Amino acid sequence: MKIIYRTDWQKIKERDQSKLWIDKNENSDEILNKINFNYLKNIDHNSIFAYPDLGKLYKFLAKFLKLKIDNVMLVLEQMAQ
């Protein structure tokens, strides 16, 4: 049986710049990073850091489903695995 060891995150180790860094869910693609940063510059900070106003969504759903807005309720359901 082969024993698997977890990397010690407390020890800082210089990483090889010529290799892809995907061990920590990283993306080092410079072109993709530029695209992402351009999109992020145009996003209102409130859209990222504040809870959304769900009033518009409730009104839309009520109209779309032909229900009274008082009869619309959004819930988050997670199924046990």
Give the tens place of pLDDT for each residue, 28-62.
778 888 988 888 888 888 877 888 788 999 999 99
pLDDT, position 59: 95
This prediction has a pTM of 0.41
What are the distances in angstroms from CA 36 to CA 27, 40, 43, 66, 73? 11, 6, 11, 39, 34
Domain residue limits, the chain: 30-71
Please state, in angstroms and rounded to a whole number, the distance separating the CA atoms of residues 52 and 55. 9
**pLDDT attached to residue 80:** 67
- Return the DSSP state at 3: P
What is the arithmetic mean of pLDDT over 8-29? 72
